Amino acid sequence: MSRDEVLASQNRRLRALGVRVEEGPAGRRVVAERDFEAGSVVLSTTPLEGVLLPRHALSRCAHCWRRREKLSRCGACQRALYCDRACQRRGFVAGHRFECKAMAELFSLDDGVAVDVLVASRVGRRLLHTERQTSCYSVVAATALDARGMLLWHDGDAPAVPESWAALGCDGRALAAGRRNNFCVADEMLEGIAAVSSPIGALLNHSCAPTCVVSYSPAAPDKPPVQHFVAIRRVRCGEELTHAYVDVGAPTRERRAILETNYGFRCECARCAASWTERDARLEGTATLNAVAAETEAATALRTNADLLERALLCDDDDEEAHILEAAAEALDGVVSPDHCADTWNPRSPFLRP
Ligand SMILES: [Zn+2]
Ligand SMILES: [Zn+2]
Ligand SMILES: [Zn+2]
């Protein structure tokens, strides 16, 4: 199977939704084929596989991921807990029958590794299963093809895996591709509860100023939740659809470092490529501010602040001094957060009250 065949199949399905996937000099990307209003769902897809994060193993059902007061344990491994017999049966069919014996070993690993191995194993077993089937075109075949596409486009390493993982169906390539492409499903309190493999969702590239955010609709009893990409501003026909792989509230340096470590690329999006911004000043705090302030608007604010503080120091009149100090604080408004003013004397700063 070639990349072109995968793209053709995906585009047959995606074009019906008003988007397409294309491969250009800068790599693969998803593009809008029509305008989308802010708040509209641009793309919905059902993840291929998903597993509960081990840290929730005692409080949530291993199959439907719902939080329950009372859960019953798998008697064999003692590590997978379920709402009831129905969930246990579905969970068994969905993968636990292969994983039960390996749970003790997997739970001794780091949470993130255990989840990556479980998701990669499920994807691997599904691919093996569809290879054995003779049906030509079906939903199952299409989702398997999308998963193959995800592996085809993975150009990173493919580490050797221990025999016990390979026995589950997890190979190095699926594991490495999953690490870069898996999504974390969060609950209504934005706490991560599960990891899912979503080969169609994984087609969207990252941007620190994205066009879309990811959300999930509640799970049907025997399926992972549906994944939605929602436009957070108006998206024009021809624009690339992106979402943020990292917290966009983090400063540029931090975002770039996480993207390089976890996803293997240096972000050159408009926000990262822009020169040091006022927003980063507020996010990073005073040390960075002082280092780069000379180039920015913040420098003027800091200078005004310093001048006013000097005047306040020389002032004999209490009322006038209070006014000057107030003006010094105002000079920093909108440029420097009070929380980041520890070494810029600011009467509103909680750190440095005289
Ligand atoms: Zn359940
Ligand atoms: Zn078990
Ligand atoms: Zn960026």
Chain segment 233-277, per-residue pLDDT in tens: 999 999 999 999 998 888 888 999 999 998 989 998 888 887 666
- What DSSP designation does 201 have? G
Verify that 282 and 169 share a domain, yes or no: no
233 SS3 class: coil
219 alpha carbon – ligand 3 mean position (Å) = 32
Verify that 63 and 173 share a domain, yes or no: yes
Q: In this structure, are residues 231 and 37 in contact, taking their beta carbons and an 8 Å threshold? A: yes
Q: How far is CA 234 from CA 16, 21, 56, 237, in A?
A: 20, 19, 37, 10
- Assess whether pLDDT exceeds 70 at residue 193: yes
| C-beta atoms surrounding 156 within 10 Å | 13
342 alpha carbon – ligand 1 mean position (Å) = 50
Q: In this structure, are residues 335 and 297 in contact, taking their beta carbons and an 8 Å threshold? A: yes
284 alpha carbon – ligand 3 mean position (Å) = 16
User: What's the pLDDT score for residue 225?
Assistant: 86
- Assess whether pLDDT exceeds 90 at residue 1: no
User: What's the pLDDT score for residue 142?
Assistant: 76
Confirm whether 216 is domain-assigned.
no
Final residue before a domain boundary, out of 138, 154, 182: 182
Ligand lying nearest the CA atom of residue 77:
2
What angle do helix axes 172-181 and 139-152 make, rounded to 10 degrees?
90
258 alpha carbon – ligand 3 mean position (Å) = 11
102 alpha carbon – ligand 2 mean position (Å) = 9
Ligand lying nearest the CA atom of residue 82:
1
Q: In this structure, are residues 26 and 205 in contact, taking their beta carbons and an 8 Å threshold? A: no
- Write out the residue range of the structural domain in which residue 102 sits: 50-182
Average pLDDT taken over every residue of the chain: 85
Confirm whether 166 is domain-assigned.
yes
Q: Could you tell me which of 110, 112, 259 has the C-alpha nearest to residue 182? A: 112
Verify that 54 and 176 share a domain, yes or no: yes
Verify that 282 and 176 share a domain, yes or no: no
Mean pLDDT in residue range 117-142: 77
Final residue before a domain boundary, out of 182, 205, 240: 182
| Cβ neighbours of residue 39 closer than 8 Å, sequence gap 6 or more | 230, 231, 232
Mean pLDDT in residue range 163-173: 94
Confirm whether 115 is domain-assigned.
yes
Ligand lying nearest the CA atom of residue 86:
1
User: What's the pLDDT score for residue 347?
Assistant: 43
Ligand lying nearest the CA atom of residue 85:
1
> 196: which strand partners?
50, 183
User: What's the pLDDT score for residue 248?
Assistant: 87
Ligand lying nearest the CA atom of residue 255:
3
172 alpha carbon – ligand 2 mean position (Å) = 24
107 alpha carbon – ligand 2 mean position (Å) = 12
Burial letters 105-135, b for 16+ CB under 10 A, else e: ebeeeeeeebbbbbbbbbbbbbbeebeeeee
Confirm whether 314 is domain-assigned.
yes
Ligand lying nearest the CA atom of residue 273:
3
251 alpha carbon – ligand 3 mean position (Å) = 10
Confirm whether 282 is domain-assigned.
yes
Q: How far is CA 129 from CA 52, 182, 272, in A?
A: 22, 21, 43
- Assess whether pLDDT exceeds 80 at residue 339: no
51 alpha carbon – ligand 2 mean position (Å) = 14
116 alpha carbon – ligand 2 mean position (Å) = 18
| Cβ neighbours of residue 220 closer than 8 Å, sequence gap 6 or more | none
Confirm whether 42 is domain-assigned.
no
pLDDT tens for 92-106 read: 999 999 999 999 999
92 alpha carbon – ligand 2 mean position (Å) = 8
| Cβ neighbours of residue 78 closer than 8 Å, sequence gap 6 or more | none
Rounded to 5°, angle at Cα 241 from 240 and 242: 110
230 alpha carbon – ligand 1 mean position (Å) = 28
Final residue before a domain boundary, out of 140, 155, 182: 182
Confirm whether 18 is domain-assigned.
no
- Assess whether pLDDT exceeds 50 at residue 51: yes
The pair phi, psi for residue 276, each rounded to 5°, is: -50, 130
207 alpha carbon – ligand 3 mean position (Å) = 5
> 229: which strand partners?
43, 214
75 alpha carbon – ligand 2 mean position (Å) = 7
330 alpha carbon – ligand 3 mean position (Å) = 31
111 alpha carbon – ligand 3 mean position (Å) = 27
Least confident of 170-184, 197-211, 251-265, 267-281: 267-281
224 alpha carbon – ligand 1 mean position (Å) = 12
Question: What's the number of domains the chain is made of?
Answer: 2
User: What's the pLDDT score for residue 129?
Assistant: 78
pTM for this prediction: 0.76
Verify that 178 and 56 share a domain, yes or no: yes
31 alpha carbon – ligand 3 mean position (Å) = 18
Confirm whether 170 is domain-assigned.
yes
**pLDDT higher for 223 or 227?**
227
271 alpha carbon – ligand 3 mean position (Å) = 5
| 188, two tokens | 């209504």
* Euclidean distance between CA atoms 297 and 338, whole angstroms: 17
DSSP string, 16-55: GGTEEEEEETTEEEEEESS-B-TT-EEEEE--SEEEE-GG
Verify that 56 and 178 share a domain, yes or no: yes
% of the chain surpassing 70 pLDDT: 82
**pLDDT higher for 297 or 188?**
188
